[in-house]
Chain A
Amino acid sequence: MSFFNKLKSKLFKSSSQLEEGLDAIVEEGGALSEPDAPEPPAAPEPPKPEPRPDPAPEPFPAPQDPDPTPRPQEVPDPAPSEVPQGPVPVEIPDDTPPGQPNTGGLLGRVFGRQSAAPVVRRPLDDDMLESLEDLLITADMGVQTAARVTANLAEGRYGRRVSTQEIKEALAEEIARIMEPVARPLPLYAKKPQVVLVVGVNGSGKTTTIGKLASQFNAAGKSVVIAAGDTFRAAAVEQLQVWGDRAGVPVMTAPQGTDPASLAYDAHKKAEEDGADLLMIDTAGRLQNRADLMEELAKIIRVIRKRDETAPHNTVLVLDATTGQNALNQVEIFQKIADVSGLVMTKLDGTARGGVLVALADRFGLPIHAIGVGEQIDDLSPFDPEEFAAALTGLTR
């Protein structure tokens, strides 16, 4: 299963609420734009199917231009008038190429059934904006960001009659606009070894993220050394060793309870001797004892700088999406402790609504290097703002 299929299916599951909510908001106080539109659950096959030979999309399809310009007076899909009146499929089966006219892959297929529903329009008024804002808050976007997104959404559209599809497009456009500047993979420098310090609270998926990143860099032909710097948690060290063995990446360890700074020093030495491209340093994440942690991280940085004044070249904060708005607090705390240069968001599955990523981008503007939706190595992937925005809003593309 490709990464985006996973992202879509997982975000779809969790954000279906957002999508349903959008439908509900428009329907409430809205009116059908066609007097003789078919019954609500209709999901008609479009009139001119374009059979797609390969139903499996590429793992990283180039984002299409979603054409987000709202066209309020235009019926977006002529399909409803040509609905076959027989039993209509509620869900389009996976193996038949549905041939949505403007489908962008599985996403279009999954969400396709929504776009073909009769077009209900509703004036974009204060009530609707308030409902939209609430919906975005429910999706974990945070109060401030939700307010900002809603305000931007209203600009130039206020008072117009809009359909769910138009709202989704506008919302996706707005979200993608916020996310675009932060979607940047971990930058690679010519510096050898490039030191990447990985920080985050325990349980955020820090160790797994290091394992996955190391595997991916290794597969891309970069040589990596890992320093298992969370020397207080034996489990973290073992976990890294498993990842290291699997990826063929050397993992430097030290006995439990020893000084992680000296391990980092040794690891840097080894990385330099081996001519490694990257040195990834795992760190402890015991936030409850912040003073200790701060001292520990400061010491690692101090010691590493004895070997390379420019290190660490990246300080990556790993965040667990299921902690919701608390992720924002964690960024603030770690920005004080360490000079965070970028984020990795893990566990963007399950109940995580994904909106917290928008809040993070809006509030901090830190690069989001990767997002993770599962336990497999390729479940960690670069962040694509447009795909994300479309998945979050349930936009048909």
Chain B
Amino acid sequence: MSALTWKEGDTPIVGEFLELRQSCELDRLNAGAAAKGLAGSLHCVTAKSGVRLVAMGRIVGDGGMAAMLVDLMVEPNMRGQGIGREVMERLVAWCREELPRSCSISAIPVPGSYSLYKGAGFEIRGGMAFSLP
């Protein structure tokens, strides 16, 4: 595995973000929505292989009471190397460092990735969500 360049704080460029989403077979997003969303991140962790964005994750929220871990993605051919775990660890470490003690961190993992979230301290609770059409 070639060495990855990790970066904390900088959100990815909209184009590379959308490319990574696409390679992870996630729904297509409107670029304007993505730009707005990325700009509203509390924190972002990215990993690049050379100049290619291969993994990322973000924290969004109000910065005080509630935060959410979103867009945790690893490019399919880079999976199984612990990259997702490292993104997760860096994000959670940032939360512990920067967010107030009582802040609640939520996430909606895709099925199959629960153990990754559990390992980082998440526990299963009931919740609901929907996406605007």
Contacts and interface: CB of A to CB of B under 8 A. Distances in A.
Contacts of B10: 323-324, 326
A215 B12 CA distance: 32
A325 B50 contact: no
B32 A353 contact: no
B31 A322 contact: no
Interface string B18-56: 100000000000111011101100000000101111000
A142 B35 contact: yes
A142 B14 CA distance: 9
A324 B34 CA distance: 13
Contacts of A349: 51
A350 B11 contact: no
A323 B48 CA distance: 12
Contacts of A356: 13
Given A134-B30, A138-B31, A350 B50 contact: yes
B82 interface: no
Contact of B11 (A138, A142, A146, A325): A325
Nearest to A136: B31
Nearest to B30: A134
A353 B15 contact: yes
Given A143-B36, A325-B35, A137 B14 contact: yes
Contacts of A143: 32, 35-36
Interface string A18-40: 00000000000000000000000
B51 A350 contact: yes
A324 B14 contact: yes
A324 B11 contact: yes
Of the four ranges (under 10, 10 to 19, 20 to 34, 35 or more), the interface on chain A belongs to 20 to 34
Contacts of A353: 13, 15
Interface in B75-123: none
A324 B36 CA distance: 13
Given A350-B50, A350-B51, A351-B53, A322 B35 contact: no
Contacts of A138: 14-15, 18, 31
Interface residues of B, number: 22
A326 B13 CA distance: 9
A352 interface: yes
A135 interface: yes
A140 B15 contact: yes
Contacts, number: 57
A133 B32 CA distance: 8
B62 interface: no
B14 A140 contact: yes
B15 A139 contact: yes
B32 A134 contact: yes
Contacts of A325: 11, 13-14, 35, 38-39
Considering residues A135, A142, A350, A356, which has the most beta carbons from chain B within 10 angstroms of its beta carbon? A350
A142 B9 CA distance: 18
A349 B38 CA distance: 22
A29 B93 CA distance: 48
Considering residues A135, A140, A351, which has the most beta carbons from chain B within 10 angstroms of its beta carbon? A351
B113 to A, nearest CB: 25
A351 B52 contact: yes
A17 interface: yes
A356 B48 CA distance: 19
A137 B51 contact: no
A351 B16 contact: yes
A138 B53 CA distance: 14
A351 B17 CA distance: 11
Contacts of A323: 10
Given A324-B11, A324-B12, A325-B11, A135 B31 contact: yes
Nearest to A10: B51
A140 B18 CA distance: 11
Contacts of B15: 17, 138-140, 351, 353
A281 B127 CA distance: 56
A353 B9 CA distance: 19
Given A322-B51, A325-B39, A350-B50, A140 B30 contact: no
A322 B32 contact: no
A297 B52 CA distance: 34
Given A138-B14, A140-B13, A351-B16, 14 more contacts: A137-B31, A138-B15, A143-B32, A322-B51, A323-B10, A324-B13, A325-B11, A325-B38, A325-B39, A349-B51, A350-B51, A351-B13, A351-B53, A353-B13
14 contacts: A133-B32, A137-B31, A137-B34, A143-B36, A322-B13, A322-B51, A324-B11, A324-B12, A325-B14, A326-B11, A349-B51, A350-B51, A351-B52, A356-B13
Interface of A: 17, 133-135, 137-140, 142-143, 146, 322-326, 349-353, 356
